Amino acid sequence: MDRGAWWATVHGVAKSRTGLSDFTFFLMELEGGKQKQQGRLILLNMRRSAAPSQLQGNPFKKPKFISPARSHPSPNEEVAKLNSDIKLFEVAANKNNFLQPQNDPRTCNFNLPTKECAKGINHGDNYREKYCLEASTKTTLDLHHTVHSAPKEITVSKGQEEKPDSLVKYFSVVWCKASKKKHKKWEGDGVLIVKGKSFTLKDLEGKDIGRGTGYKLKELEKIEEGQTMMIGGKEIEVMGIISPDDFNSGRCFQFGGGCSAILSSSQAAKKCFSNPFKSVCKLSSKENKQNSFQSCKPRHDPYAPNSLVMLRPDKNHQWLFNKNCFPVVDVVIDPHLVYYLRPHQKEGITFLYECVMGMRVNGRCGAILADEMGLGKTLQCISLIWTLQCQGPYGGKPIVKKTLIVTPGSLVNNWKKEFQKWLGIERIKIFTVDQDHKVEEFTKSPFYSVLIISYEMLLRSLDQIKNVKFDLLICDEGHRLKNSTIKTTTALISLSCEKRIILTGTPVQNDLQEFFTLIDFVNPGILGSLSAYRKIYEEPIIISRQPSASEEERELGEQRAAELTCLTGLFILRRTQEVINQYLPPKIENVVFCRPGALQIALYRKLLNSQAVRFCLQGLLENTSHLICIGALKKLCNHPCLLFGSIKEKESNSTWDESEERNLYEGLMNVFPADYNPIMFTEEESGKLQVLSKLLAVIRELRPAEKVVLVSNYTRTLDILQEVCKRHGYAYTRLDGQTPISQRQQIVDGFNSKYSSDFIFLLSSKAGGVGLNLIGGSHLILYDIDWNPATDIQAMSRVWRDGQKHPVHIYRLLTTGTIEEKIYQRQISKQGLSGAVVDLSKTSDHIQFSVEELKNLFTLHESSHCVTHDLLDCECTGENHTGDSLEKLPVSRNCQLGPHQQKSDSLKPLSMSQLKQWRHFPGDHLNLTDPFLERIRENVSFFFQNITNQTTAI
């Protein structure tokens, strides 16, 4: 296409308030040919050391300032309608340029596909539209109101008439330090808040930079554009009015005041306005000629039934990224993959494609796929990689040559396996890094296009990795990057790749600091600097959540949260388990309260009477003493022999005499039988072990073809469970922290194989829970409980996932009346539900206990069938209460982004009120319909049961 352009001076601004001859020119480049409708704004000259908005005069009237740092202007800056007159052009330029709004900057309605391009072609579910509408309805934004169309009348707060003291107005201003100099230079943009008789001046990072009080109300009413005044040693000039809506949402800081908060805050932000195609699409002119018409046909038929066609780039995108004017070609997902994809996965692939292509947020190529566990994030990424590696919208040129996948060590081979499962071994060449296969091999060979590496290996081979030009970076289980100071995060940030995807099954909004790090990693600079983010979003949101927050603070916090959700919602996608429930078999979850054995009760009493526990309750001991007491009680619940073992070990230690544990274990040995031998432990000594042993026997008997995943948090406990397997002749396999990473996938594959003879998979939840697929097992037994519900939920999700053929039975074993019940209660109580706990990295060390709480923890309830049921305030007498199905209940979620995010979320632990809805009955209940429970009831004091996806035959 002939790209001959002609130039026209559109606007020259000479705001010569300072007396300097400062001119800012905007030129519009107008093109011939097809793209005559488009124009390009270029900033030719600007004045040094002046407030950005002042450069072109009043921002509410003149085109917005464009940072010279932006080497690749965003489409909105670049594009204006040729047939528009200058006024129209000004309006376009005045719009919020950052997020490329095409209709209204508030609607988050970016880049909707044009009718023509969508016509006749299946472009997925037009996810963006759905999503953005969702985002915009979530917020309380006024869709017809823009930052720059400020109301003529100053907006005042409710009740202004009656109470002049509560009058609140907001103005955009420019400011400089007060001086007597003749020629003043504005130093920055700001926001002036006039409340009652006082002023507050904030900079665009939300920081207070001036205050003043005691002004006359009459004067305040008269404030108008162009007015100058002195505030707290600063001179300001009012540039325009900011609506309360724009202030409350925080938009006036980032956008209304001149984008500086976003544009200048991060180096990386500048980088991100770069061409998402440049890595691969740049062709020499010779190549150009040769190739220009070669691959103009889509690789797969976009009109075929069930085809999944990606969104076509709009005119802006083409204008920016199709410099070589290749024909636009449909990008069509390989039908071979589409055949297997679930509807949510098709949506997910469309979402990822649009994100990394910079179609969702102008020039930003990052995405966070935060689907719950088991929804097939791996397959969605594989489909994306395969597509981008073979196709592209411009002349069909591939977008990606090399992809880097960083994942926890235990999943490196799982990724490889998934590639092979979905694409076979021929289509794409995968290189996995391990002890024997170094990064150099990948670097030297042109053969491989995908490098899969663990986080640990990445750190070790960072230098070599930096030498490779990766076009796409995927960080699996990426919630670990939430802390920007940790080495892994800094290493990944240092990679120059712009298309970045984080995969995580954990909700990302629970902690606003961590949220910032994840967002800033995928789309650097999009939320401005950390300090601006804190002032504009985090502080008001956190303040609004305090019980003491005023109505005003609450509203402000909610609106800021809504704005943040709207901004980031464009590139974060989270779907919950429900979307695949229909493809999964039923799940029967049981909480089983096991009666402790006689030896356990005797030892428990003794421990609770120890000096150490008594001191703890009086608050006399060191900070960590209670953790030692808790640890001992937990061991005892698993099996007394574990306690015996640790006492013996401690006694042989030279520091035993001074050890705090002496106070705890004093006299305990006398409770054990004189000839007690931990190696010869019996099942009767532990209530849970007795139940487990019977459970394994009944599974074996009733479902001989099915397998069991047996989970504990402790290696020593796994040793005991392993011994039980041996004694009963059950074939088993084991994965714990000591299992070499290179062997893990092999162990998992072996167990999942239908040819395997293993009956039991012994799993240490902390070592290997994350991301594993253990669909070979259909019974999962959680032998002990963790303080952090996320650890348990992770483990439970290993079996109930796509590919599972049998109904899934989950058994959580708890020792009745003991600390295990208390931990469970904490998991399901408000305290345990607080957002921070739904996070795998949080351990009990983070938990603070009051003396009251410790008293409760260190109490043994010997006469109750189930303390948890006693606490539920349930009207039933414990006789087979059949509650409503859990699925019918609304599930709330603790999320710092507030009510706008409330969605059902199965990752969130169960709440007390939900548990109350489960069927529940005592162990001696006469009518137990479940044959498995029937067989273990003798040692069980109480059951809770819930069935998801119930069908008649279980």
Ligand X SMILES: Nc1ncnc2c1ncn2[C@@H]1O[C@H](COP(=O)(O)OP(=O)(O)OP(=O)(O)O)[C@@H](O)[C@H]1O
Q: Which residues bind Mg ion (CB under 5 A)?
A: 771
Our CB check for Mg ion shows the closer of 250 and 771 to be 771
342 is in the binding site of which of ligand X, Mg ion, none (Cβ under 5 to 8 A by kind)?
A: ligand X
Residue 131: strand, helix, or coil: helix
* Furthest C-alpha separation in the chain: 100
State the minimum distance, in angstroms, from the CB of residue 413 to Mg ion.
13
Stretch that binds ligand X, among 237-245, 349-357, 371-379, 463-471 (CB under 6 A): 371-379
| Sheet with 228-231: strands ordered across | 208-212, 198-203, 188-195, 168-177, 234-242, 228-231
810 is written with which tokens?
């989950």
Our CB check for ligand X shows the closer of 377 and 534 to be 377
What's phi and psi for 894, nearest 5 deg?
Answer: -85, 110
State the minimum distance, in angstroms, from the CB of residue 770 to Mg ion.
8
State the minimum distance, in angstroms, from the CB of residue 456 to Mg ion.
18
Examine residue 374 and tell whether it contacts ligand X (CB under 6 A). Answer: yes
Termini Cα distance of the chain: 65
Examine residue 371 and tell whether it contacts ligand X (CB under 6 A). Answer: yes
Q: Say how far apart CA 837 and CA 841 lie, in whole Å.
A: 9
108-144 b/e (C-beta count within 10 Å ≥ 16 → b): bbbbbbeeebbeebbbbbebbeebbeebbebbebeee
802-831 binders of ligand X (CB under 6 A): 802-803
Our CB check for ligand X shows the closer of 11 and 575 to be 575
| DSSP 8-class letter at 667 | T
Q: Say how far apart CA 580 and CA 547 lie, in whole Å.
A: 38
State the minimum distance, in angstroms, from the CB of residue 804 to ligand X.
9
State the minimum distance, in angstroms, from the CB of residue 768 to Mg ion.
13
Tokens 């179609």 correspond to: 359
CB–CB of 17/221 below 8 Å?
Answer: no
What's phi and psi for 709, nearest 5 deg?
Answer: -105, 125
Give the amino acid at 532: A
Q: Say how far apart CA 626 and CA 618 lie, in whole Å.
A: 11
Examine residue 749 and tell whether it contacts ligand X (CB under 6 A). Answer: no
Residue 915: strand, helix, or coil: helix
State the minimum distance, in angstroms, from the CB of residue 601 to Mg ion.
43
803 is in the binding site of which of ligand X, Mg ion, none (Cβ under 5 to 8 A by kind)?
A: ligand X
State the minimum distance, in angstroms, from the CB of residue 406 to ligand X.
14
Among the listed residues 251, 801, 869, 900, the single contact to ligand X using CB under 6 A:
801
Tokens 């070589």 correspond to: 324
Residues 6 or more apart whose CB falls under 8 angstroms from that of 285 comprise: none
Examine residue 379 and tell whether it contacts ligand X (CB under 6 A). Answer: yes
CB–CB of 775/418 below 8 Å?
Answer: no
| Binding-site string for ligand X from residue 326 to residue 345, where x marks contact by CB under 6 A and - marks none | --------------xxx--x
Among the listed residues 565, 773, 827, 946, the single contact to ligand X using CB under 6 A:
773
Pairing of strands 732-735, 760-764: parallel
Residues 6 or more apart whose CB falls under 8 angstroms from that of 457 comprise: 409, 433, 434, 439
Q: Say how far apart CA 79 and CA 315 lie, in whole Å.
A: 9
Stretch that binds ligand X, among 189-197, 562-570, 607-615, 797-805 (CB under 6 A): 797-805
Q: Which residue is nearest to Mg ion (CB)?
A: 771
Q: Say how far apart CA 249 and CA 837 lie, in whole Å.
A: 29
State the minimum distance, in angstroms, from the CB of residue 344 to Mg ion.
15
State the minimum distance, in angstroms, from the CB of residue 912 to Mg ion.
30
Q: Say how far apart CA 488 and CA 498 lie, in whole Å.
A: 17
State the minimum distance, in angstroms, from the CB of residue 355 to ligand X.
17
Examine residue 575 and tell whether it contacts ligand X (CB under 6 A). Answer: no
285 is written with which tokens?
């002119």
Examine residue 22 and tell whether it contacts ligand X (CB under 6 A). Answer: no
State the minimum distance, in angstroms, from the CB of residue 175 to ligand X.
49
Our CB check for ligand X shows the closer of 70 and 482 to be 482
Residue 826: strand, helix, or coil: helix
State the minimum distance, in angstroms, from the CB of residue 466 to ligand X.
27
Examine residue 768 and tell whether it contacts ligand X (CB under 6 A). Answer: no
Stretch that binds ligand X, among 58-66, 305-313, 354-362, 372-380 (CB under 6 A): 372-380
Examine residue 378 and tell whether it contacts ligand X (CB under 6 A). Answer: yes
Our CB check for ligand X shows the closer of 249 and 791 to be 791
CB–CB of 360/110 below 8 Å?
Answer: yes
| DSSP 8-class letter at 256 | I
390 is in the binding site of which of ligand X, Mg ion, none (Cβ under 5 to 8 A by kind)?
A: none
| Binding-site string for ligand X from residue 658 to residue 687, where x marks contact by CB under 6 A and - marks none | ------------------------------
| Binding-site string for ligand X from residue 492 to residue 521, where x marks contact by CB under 6 A and - marks none | -------------x----------------
Examine residue 771 and tell whether it contacts ligand X (CB under 6 A). Answer: yes
Examine residue 203 and tell whether it contacts ligand X (CB under 6 A). Answer: no
Examine residue 377 and tell whether it contacts ligand X (CB under 6 A). Answer: yes
CB–CB of 351/124 below 8 Å?
Answer: no
Using CB under 6 A as the criterion, which residues of the chain lie in contact with ligand X when the complex forms?
340-342, 345, 371, 373-379, 418, 421, 505, 771, 773, 797, 801-803
